[in-house]
Each structure stands twice: as C-alpha cells, then as structure tokens.
Amino acid sequence: MLNPDWKPDASSPLPVYKQIEQYIREKVLHGEWPPGTRLPSHRALSALFGVNRSTVAAALNLLSASGLLEGNRGGGTVVRSGPLEPSTSAVKAPIWMNAADEGIHYPNLPVIQTINRMEAASGVIRLGTGELSPELLPHGSYNQLLAELSRCRRRLSYPEPQGCPQLREAIARHAAADGIRASAASVLVVSGSLQALHLISVGLLPRGAAILTEKPSYLYSIHAFQSAGMKLIGLPMDKEGLQTEKLADAAAAYSASLLYTNPTFHNPTGRTMSMERRMQLLEQARASGLSIIEDGAYNELWIDHEPPPALKSLDSEGRVLYTGTLSKSFSPGLRIGWVIGPEPVIGRLADIKMQMDYGSSMLSQETAALWLSSGRHEAHLVHIRSRLRERRDHLLELLHRFFLDIAEWDKPSGGFYIWIKLTVTVPLRALFEAALAEGILLNPGDLYDRNDRQHLRLSYAYASAAEMNGAVPALSAIVRRLAKTERQES
Amino acid sequence: MLNPDWKPDASSPLPVYKQIEQYIREKVLHGEWPPGTRLPSHRALSALFGVNRSTVAAALNLLSASGLLEGNRGGGTVVRSGPLEPSTSAVKAPIWMNAADEGIHYPNLPVIQTINRMEAASGVIRLGTGELSPELLPHGSYNQLLAELSRCRRRLSYPEPQGCPQLREAIARHAAADGIRASAASVLVVSGSLQALHLISVGLLPRGAAILTEKPSYLYSIHAFQSAGMKLIGLPMDKEGLQTEKLADAAAAYSASLLYTNPTFHNPTGRTMSMERRMQLLEQARASGLSIIEDGAYNELWIDHEPPPALKSLDSEGRVLYTGTLSKSFSPGLRIGWVIGPEPVIGRLADIKMQMDYGSSMLSQETAALWLSSGRHEAHLVHIRSRLRERRDHLLELLHRFFLDIAEWDKPSGGFYIWIKLTVTVPLRALFEAALAEGILLNPGDLYDRNDRQHLRLSYAYASAAEMNGAVPALSAIVRRLAKTERQES
Ligand SMILES: Cc1ncc(COP(=O)(O)O)c(C=O)c1O
Ligand SMILES: Cc1ncc(COP(=O)(O)O)c(C=O)c1O
C-alpha cells in the first residue's frame, strides 16, 4: 500500500543510497511508516525511486543493520515491530497494521488498485478508461463559469440535505427533457453517481439482501453492495440487453426485491436495451414486486441515434430510482451526480448522506447549476457526440485491421466502450500486465464478471487517435504472443 | 419524511384547496409519492402550505373520495396501496416503503433531522449551530480565488485517490505549523472531516469493535461508528479534558483498541485538554495498545491563548490519526477536510474513499490549495479569532445577566461552544420545542450524551449580537416557565 512520491536527487553530493536510507529512516522515525509496515519489493522500490536494485539493497542493508527494518517470514522487508530501546519495552504497537486488513469494507480489486494508481502516471495509454479525454472536456466554458461565479455572492455555509435548490431544479428540468417527470423535491444531489449506489446499499436494504443485475455489470467492479453484506445475482444479457425471461424466477429464487440495471450504453458491453425489452422488464418488475435502480450514466452519449426512453420515464408508480451524473460529459472531477425517485426514499437517502459527508461541495453544486441552466450543456453534448463517433469509428477500424482473426465485437451506438471477446485463449491477468509493461492500461473482463476469461473493455473516449494507432497493434501482438505460449503449454 | 417545498398561489383563480388537491394528485400519479407514503399531519400540512386546516381537510377529502388516499391504522393519511383499477390487481408495490425503515444505516436522531431542516429555514435564530456566521466567512477572498482559478487551465478528470498533490502539500505545510510532521504521502483529502470518521469506521475496524471517547462527545450525535456495528464507550471528563485514570481499565474491559478524542475546544463542552493530560493520554495509549483518532476541527480557533500542541505532534510512532477541516474557519460548504497518519493506513482509507465517491471535488480541492498556499488563511484566522472573542464575551455577558441563577458554565478559551448546565429541572425535548416555537434553534445536551438531562450546547459563532440579545432572555424565560410547570407537576 505504500506509494512513495519522492525520488532521490542525482545532483546532490550525498550518495543516492544514503538519500534513500535517510528518506526511509525519517519515515520510520516519524511514524509515517509505523512498525509492521511492509516495504515494497526491491524491484518495486528500484522502479519507484528510479535507481538500480543494488542501490536499494545498499540502503536497506544499512537500515536493517541499525535495527529499523527486518525481514519477515515471507521474504519481504518490514519496519521492525520490536522496541528499539529496552527501556520502552512496555510499549504496545498501534492497531492500524492489522486493522487495515480487518475493516468491514472490501478493498478494491488488485487490478482496480493498479488502474487507479497508473491512471495518474504519465506516459500511459489509457485504453480502457471510463472517462472522456481532457481534450473533449469544456475547459474554456468551465473557466467562464468560474469567472461568473467569482462575481456573485454565495452561500459558503453547510449545504442543505438534498442539495442546493437551484441545482435540483436544473436537474429536474434536465430530466424532463428525457421524459422524466420529477420535481426538485424528488431529486437528491450526490457526489457522483457512485455515491448514490453506496447510499442505497446502506440506506434501503437489509443486510443479506440479493440484488439482481446484468452479468457482466459495473456493479461487480465496485463493492458498494457487497461491502454492505449484500449479494449480486447476475442475469444473462443478449444483444437487446438484460434477458427478462429469467427475471421472475431469479427474483423468487433469491428473494430479491431490487434490480440494478444500466440499460443504455451499458458498462461494459456497450449494449442498449430495446424498447420492447424495457416494457417487458417493467411488466416483470410489477409482477414480481421488484424495485429498479436505473443507472443512466451514459444516456446522453448516443452516437448514431437517440436511445429508447429511460425506464424512469415509463414509470408512474415510483418503482424506479434513477441515477445520473455530470461525470461522463462535463467533468468527472466536479463529482456531481443525482438520484431521482419517490420523495420518501430521497428523504431517507439525504438523511444518510448528511451523516456521511454533510452534503456535496457547494462550489461544485453551483458550478453544475450554472452549467445546466446556461444551456451550454446541450451544445457541448452535440460536440462530444460527433467526436465520440469519430473516435469509435477509428477504434473499430483499427480492431478490424488488427483483431479480426482473434476477436469478436459489436459496434456500440453510444457510450464509451467496445466489449471485445477474444477467440484465442489468453490469461487475462497476464494480458493486463504485459500490456501495462508496454505502457497500455486496459480493463480486463473479469472486473465485470468474476468468471469471465475472454473479454476486454476497450474505450474510445480517452486515448487519442495517435495513441490508439500505437496501442491497438501492440495489444494485438501481445495477445498473439500470449496465446502462442498458452497453446504450447497446454 | 416528506418535505414539500411548494405553496399554493393565492392569486390564482383556482381555489386553494383545488390547487392542493392537484398538487398531491400529481405527486401520487407520477410516483413521487408512491403507495404507502405517509402524509404529514393536517397541522403540519397547513403549516407547510401556509393555509388553514380546513382547506387541507377539503383537499384530502377529495383525494380520499377518488381513492388516491386512505386512512391508516394510526389515524394518519397514506397514499393508497391497493390497485386503482381491478385489471392491474397483479401489480406488487415497490420495496421502497419498508426498505427505508430496513436499511443498515441508522437514521439521524429526530432532533438532528429537525435541526438539519430548520437550519435552511429563514427567520430562525441558530443559537446552537456548529458553523461560523456568514458574516465571518471570507466572501471577498473566496471570489478572488475563483477569479484566479478562472484564469488557469485545470484537470477536469477524476481525482487521484489520495487527493490532489498541491492540496496535500499545502495541508502538510499547514500541519507543520502546528508541529505535525507529515509528508504529502501521509495526507488523505476527504469531503469534510465527518467523512474521515465514516471511512475509518468501515475501513479499519472489525464489526463489533468498541471505541473509547469522551462523554459527552460529538460522536454520539452522528452514527458513523454505530451504523458500522460498533459500540461507543464514553469516558468521563473534567476541566482538563478526558480523564485518563480509567483509560487502561476501560480499554481492557471492552477490548477497545481505538480512542476518539477531540482534545482542543471540545465539541460540545468547549474544554481543552491540558498538556499534562495529553502526555498521560499518550503514555496510557502506549501501555494499553490504543490507537488514537485526534479530531482537530477547532484547533486553530483559539481566542485567549494558543492551546497545547496537538497529540499528533507528540507522536512519533504513527499511533495518532489526525483529522482536520476547513469547515470551521474558511467554508463549510467547500467540504474539504483531511486525515494525517501512517502511510499504509492512509492508503487503505484512500482505497475505500475511491469506492465511495471516486475522490473529493477537484474544484473544492483546488480552491482549498490556493487558499492555504496564498497565506490568506493565517490573516483570516487572526480576524475571526478577534470576532469570536467579542461574540463569546457578549454571550457570556448575556448569560451572566439572564442565566446566573438557573445555570452554570465555564468560559471556553476557543472554539464555538458554551456548555450550559441548567440547575433547574427542565425536560430537554420540551425546551428544544418551546424554543423552536419562538424561532430559536438550539442543541440539547442529550445529542452528545444519551443520558444527559441538563445541558445545552450554545454557540457564539453564528447568531449576531442582536439575535443573541433577543434569544438569550427569551430562552431564559422559556426555561423558567418549563421549570415551573415541572415543579408543579412533580
Ligand atoms: C455505469 C456507471 N455508473 C456509475 C458510474 C459512476 O460515475 P460517477 O460517480 O463519476 O458519477 C460509472 C463510472 O464509471 C459508470 O460507468
Ligand atoms: C468535533 C467535530 N469533528 C468533525 C466535524 C465535521 O465537520 P466537517 O465534516 O465539516 O469537517 C465537526 C462538525 O461539526 C465537529 O464538531
């Protein structure tokens, strides 16, 4: 878990191994690396510090000799847990070291941890990422909004529980354009729609509840429901989206009362549920007493033609809780999303949100309100739709040239993703790592379905055409190489 | 939980009762108030809509007659759950109605719900509130920061897991001024320090863990730890803060491995732990293997003299996890706080934060970084300290005039609060409500200690001198009136 952001200074008169020794000594002596802290491997440290391994070894040897570090059973190096001076032998170590393994909430999947870390690194081509390239984000308009905000007096106080009224009204109007009838009172502002899922998981469901969802699903890549002690039940998809025939049976078999679906430009498959399927889904939900969370993260990002209406717009019973976000179009760093649903449910979620963070950043809320009500959002969408179309077509063309004989895919009509099914056998973990070694970051299919062994989620939203031109052939070569090794070994 | 923000239009040709009927009909027909939703009482509705009760009754009668509403067993009114048309009799209601009662997370205490709602209302004097008056917040500087930000290019993308590096560096420098040694790698940016408590509760502790804390404590007024299945063990305080004699015994008796303390300008008592007590606390913690969360929310807000150094500044073992915030000085609505602690712990908390909200608003983070590194923070603190001194002295003087014979209190040397101990018997709940009926919002002591029957947390941070001049005598009169009724009844 250590992730030092320091590097030795090659121009200093102090030898590099001495600088490293001092750096680690300070970390230990000031409690930033307390007793029991596991150090990264020699290899990882040499990469992090940008030095060769013998230099790392020299520094660690000094530290071990002075009693600050010691070997652990696994052959790694840890900060020494015993007392340094006999006189302090009554000291008991703080709990943190075990605690980090003991906490209730699941850690992120290791691959996601790596992705989160590497996304901030420079020189990496992000070929699986779930956000728009900075070149598609409206930097200029954003600055205009800030300039406008800098000219008005604002509320710097704690936010209101459901979010600032102007933003809730803007969201209600925005939803109305998609046929969703909602008043400001049935809108809750959240810090990104991920937070909505977290609030729902601890706010509306008993421990042990079962949640139905598509398989693969974005839900498998996060732990919102699982960490709250809930179980995901994956349902099969076809080209029209979630298959509804098995819905009632699954709901009954697992006593599930909630379905999470991402019907439009589904993450990760890119598929969109047909209108007919939407009607069937609602009918089945009515018959089996299922409530629905509809994740509308990508709804606006159609490329070829408008998708069918949101489930929420077809719902007059308050059966659907709808989540939306500004992350996929305007700015992910703003952290503004929303939930639209029955007022008593929204009130309950707002109450829990107040207990978790006392509401979302007012500055973000104001910026979002101004953006949505300025009308700039619509114009911006027109712009990014056409850019996403170019990018999608470019990636499809590259896939056609370099993957035709080793993979299959559908053409998505919106959103960010192409879901590649490899038709040769390649271990996904090895593929992820081999790609990363060549500076390509991608999202393996098993993040979205634990049993998946053959999919990759590629994204045309982030990498530039030039980056795709380099990365797709490189990826193709890696797949072929690994497939060959795999064939030879079996 | 319904909280309609609509009012009928008296100038409309449509009679008011008809307008109300239509409003509710729409809410029901569009699923914003789904079947089973409990309506507020006639009295509450007439207050919310600003009409008299017979008008409300006329509207509800119409709705009941048309089958949209029905009476429930408790004598209230609910949205009808049965099918409206026989043909749809196979429809099962969505789960939300029970779900809201079933969720894992505790609801806020009813008094806190009322406070949260009333704080946004106009015309209320907030005499217990935990935030600075808008007149003490730096509106001008804030706008200058926004203007500066509007001139630079920024990252609109998803935040980095631990928070933006510039802000973490600014926080580390800011902490250094308080004697806390920390590098940017041991800082986690959070959306207010409340979120830090939530992350710690689900990230570092097993279910069922016991947390030691002062009694009374801010922790009792929120549910961060209790909702994660943990138990708070309250320890007595005296004028020097938490009493340490019983610490080791309590830790052993409850197998507690964590202590939460708010040693400086403690919420709600305003007390500050003496230096001697701080040393004893750390010593006891070392001997009993306790880790410590030090809540430094009010540290900078001294009025008379600087408080003793933070526990964290005396800690070289990584035993203390320190939380800080910009809410109590700069802007609560910015939602920026931080945790400083051992790197592996910070890494674990960052990983969970990524799963909850993908990081804090980048716009808030940038604003905070600019504010802290511009040097404006220090000058602003000098300003608010002197204003807080005036306000404290004014409130003390009023208390001296109006409460001397019915209450006791200490003079706080910093922070926001005066902890009033009533020496006459008054039911706190009745006092809260009687005060609210006169437009005075205050925080009864039982929010901070369930067994408390005699304290009020008053705040000199929010209400103006003129408001205090009106509210304190009014409150004194209410207390005397209720004490008299109480005496007569017993
Ligand atoms: C389907 C889906 N829902 C929700 C989210 C959460 O996004 P945010 O929290 O930024 O709104 C994502 C982001 O990747 C997503 O793909
Ligand atoms: C002692 C204490 N800690 C933490 C907080 C949380 O404040 P924030 O989340 O705004 O940083 C408060 C706010 O009232 C407080 O009084």
Could you write out the DSSP letters of every residue in A190-208? ESSHHHHHHHHHHHT--TT
**With 90 as the cut, is the pLDDT of residue A131 above it?**
yes
Q: Inter-axis angle of helices A376-403 and A465-489, to 10 degrees?
A: 40
Predicted pLDDT at B187: 97
Q: How confident is the model at residue A84 (pLDDT cuts 50, 70, 90)?
A: low
Amino acid (one-letter) located at A285: A
Copy the structure tokens of residue B178: 């308080």
Contact B357 A38 (CB under 8 A): no
Average pLDDT over residues B65-71: 91
Indicate whether this model's pTM tops 0.90: yes
Nearest CB to B146 within list A146, A206, A317: A146
Q: For A294-303, B226-235, B264-273, B392-401, which range has the lowest pLDDT when averaged over its residues?
A: B226-235
In ligand 1, the atom with minimum distance to the C-alpha of A332 is: 10
Tokens 């999202």 locate to A443
Q: Which residues of A touch B286 (CB under 8 A)?
A: 90-92
Two tokens, residue A154:
């604002």
Chain A residues with CB under 8 Å of B364 CB are 361, 363-364
Return d(Cα A108, Cα A89) in angstroms, integer.
Answer: 37
Give the whole-number percent of chain B exceeding pLDDT 90: 78
pLDDT at B86 over 50: no
Stretch A401-405: mean pLDDT: 98
In this predicted model, what pLDDT tens digit does every residue of B338-358 receive, in sequence order? 999 999 999 999 999 999 999
What chain B holds in terms of domains, given with CATH numbers, is 16-103 (1.10.10.10), 125-130+381-489 (3.90.1150.10), 139-374 (3.40.640.10)
At B431 the pLDDT is 97
* 8 Å CB contact of B348 and A143: no
Q: How confident is the model at residue B64 (pLDDT cuts 50, 70, 90)?
A: very high
* Strand ranges across the sheet with A417-422: A407-408, A417-422, A455-459, A443-444
pLDDT the model gives residue B82: 62
Q: Say if ligand 1 is within 6 A of residue A460 CB.
A: no
Which chain B residues are within 8 Å of A248, Cβ to Cβ? none
Contact A150 B147 (CB under 8 A): yes
Q: Which two tokens mark B161?
A: 């897991």
DSSP at A289? T
Least confident piece of the model among A94-98, B192-196, B252-256: A94-98
Give residue B3's pLDDT: 73
For residue B364 and ligand 2, the question of a CB distance below 6 A is answered with no
Query: Would you place residue A487 in the very low, low, confident or very high pLDDT band (cuts 50, 70, 90)?
Result: confident
B201 closest CA partner among A1, A102, A224: A102
Strand partners, B457: B419, B443
Give Cα A228 distance to the centre of its chain. Answer: 18
pLDDT band at A82 (very low <50, low <70, confident <90, very high): low
Burial class (CB in 10 A: 0-12, 13-18, 19+), A489: exposed
> What is the rounded distance in angstroms from the CA atom of residue A163 to the CA atom of residue A191?
10
Distance between start and end Cα atoms, chain A = 35
Centroid of chain to Cα B40: 25
Ligand 1 midpoint to CA A475 (Å): 26
For B171-181, write each residue's pLDDT tens digit: 999 999 889 99
Beta bridge partner(s), residue A337: A190, A325
- What was the pLDDT predicted at A448? 97
8 A C-beta contact, residue A364 and residue A326: no
Evaluate: CB of B217 within 6 angstroms of ligand 2: no
Helix (H) or strand (E) holding B294: strand B291-295
Q: What is the mean pLDDT of chain A?
A: 92
Contact between B235 and B290 (Cβ < 8 Å): no
Which amino acid, A342? P
Q: Is A121 on the interface with B (CB under 8 A)?
A: no
- Taking an 8 Å cut-off on Cβ atoms, the answer to whether B286 and A4 are in contact is no
pLDDT at residue B483 is higher than 80: yes
CB atoms within 10 A of CB B466: 9
pLDDT at A85 over 90: no
Q: Which two tokens stand for residue B26?
A: 């729409």
Annotate B439-468 with DSSP letters as a single string: TEE-EEGGGT-TT--SEEEEESSSS-HHHH
Ligand (nearest to CA of A198):
1
Contact, B292 vs B327, CB < 8 A?
no
Give dist(CA B159, CA B336) in Å, integer.
14
Q: How many CA atoms lie within 13 A of A25 on its CB side?
A: 15
> What value does the mean pLDDT take over residues B55-78?
90
Of all protein residues, whose CA lies closest to atom 15 belonging to ligand 1?
A297
Helix H or strand E encompassing B292: strand B291-295
pLDDT at residue A329 tops 70: yes
Helix (H, G, I), strand (E, B) or coil at A387: helix
Q: Using the predicted structure, report yes or no on whether residue B99 has a pLDDT greater than 70.
A: no
Considering only alpha carbons, which residue of chain A is nearest residue B282? A91
What average pLDDT score do residues A344-363 get? 94
Separation of alpha carbons A183 and B33, rounded Å: 11
Q: Does B221 touch chain A if contact means CB atoms closer than 8 Å?
A: no
Mean pLDDT of chain B: 92
Total number of residues shown for chain A: 490
**Position B95 pLDDT exceeds 80:** no
pLDDT for position A116:
85
Indicate the range of A83-97, A243-257, A282-296, B292-306 predicted with least confidence. Answer: A83-97
More confident residue, B92 or A461: A461
Confidence (pLDDT) at A87: 47
Q: Would the CB atoms of B191 and A357 count as touching at under 8 Å? A: yes
**Nearest-angstrom CA–CA distance, B340 and B324:** 8
Decide which of B159 and B487 is more confident: B159
- Nearest CB among B6, B165, B333 relative to A155 is that of B333
Which residue's CA is minimally distant from atom 3 of ligand 2? B297
